[in-house]
Structure 1
């Protein structure tokens, strides 16, 4: 999509709760695309790096202001009720989408007045299917403080564990497939001799828009860094805690250096929670795996040098 925005094929973009300038691969191209798109609207709780480029920013409610349900990893559906009204002109996500649909002449498909009405539509749409929510209601969630899913009827407890006795195939058996990856792994070379992988640290969340505003969390990790094996650092004349530049075929960024004897000598690790010159995704390759459509966040060939 961002390539289409960059070429001008997409002239308007509406971003909800996302910060693609930091989270997307080839972030420099993404930033260039969003800077020149004729119209950009962003709905978010915070003024993210992406929201700063928007023509219109729509403030949205947070989880403590917005009633809704959550299906957790154990299959338990929980009701999360708002405890305070949204401040100022903040709207719920579903309210924004409802008003946008009305403006586009499709209001009859989004004529909700509450999150509970939206959940009831999910109940009806999933009835009889494998992912059946029909037996779960807001009243029941309030009484029982959570119901296991799938749950086809209001008088049933809910499965809690799907496929315990059989899988969703005629013979009841699972189907295993083997897929050969068609994504070409970047080769290390004399120009780019190290493999860059990115990931997360405990004190920050996603692109850091929320956690970098928390003094308690930000103080645990105030800036981005690269982890490098001490032997690799010595080979490239890198000093610990020095400011370094990491460059790939796609771009570059600058971070603080940190030694780690546990990391592979041919690998660099950089967290993904910072934007600007510290944004690791300025150097991340943009190709997507043809099967799962994930970017090559873990497989970018780079070089490292001191940044004087």
Structure 2
């Protein structure tokens, strides 16, 4: 994916946006995790490696790539896990902190440009871009080869990473927003990333892919937003691992069990006759039911109301 808003440039002051168009302030807190390339006016760019002034890059808290002692950007076709920093001004003292927040960023050199594995920022911050990307030496492997530590090796000689464990879907609530989390484990000793794909079962019984994302974590979230993903949906997630140094080398995908997002009645089918024996039915929800603010402190109870309706099976049969 490409981030090409020219306001991300380190030379762009955000002060004008704050006064004339505050809605255009860049906030990457909702950025989809994945691999990104920076461009400014259709020219390749990169993340700056020096502290950026506050209120630049189209945002109030610009995010730049911090290189510690002995750290360097990856060489041609290499991958490195580095740290990005968000600059912020402490208003009480007026002093600036170049690294108020730290964000993990994986950087990959693609010969003559960089790509970055970015995560959402912890607040309204924006990733910066710097023009005039210096030319890096071109070093490309053949179509049947991969780069491994700067050396071209045959794909057939490079073992794929082991498959992750079977993913498990659980629900969780953050504030008033409901999410599903796909979690799994990895036994790989190499530097690997993961691709997580979400899908749901259509009314016709076909699996429809909803979203796919790359991450270096062993879990991923998706929002139960009521539009793309709704109560009553039957949901799956799958994951496979890939080598960060050689993304073409992938492991086998593994899919979760079906997760029904909604309320189930157990048993699902029960014949209840008039003047018959009692039946115990269990109402079970696989997702949390958020309560309105203050419902526990007031006299109003946080309840979920259900209505039971009956239907006749035939003229000679009772309800």
Identify whether the pair has TM-score above 0.5, normalized to the shorter chain.
no
- Counting strand residues as a fraction of each chain, which structure ranks higher? 2
User: Per chain length, whose mean CA-contact separation is higher, i.e. which structure has more relative contact order (CA < 8 Å, sep 6+)?
Assistant: 1
Q: TM-score, normalised by structure 2?
A: 0.23
Structure showing greater radius of gyration is 2
Q: TM-score, normalised by structure 1?
A: 0.23
- Counting helix residues as a fraction of each chain, which structure ranks higher? 1
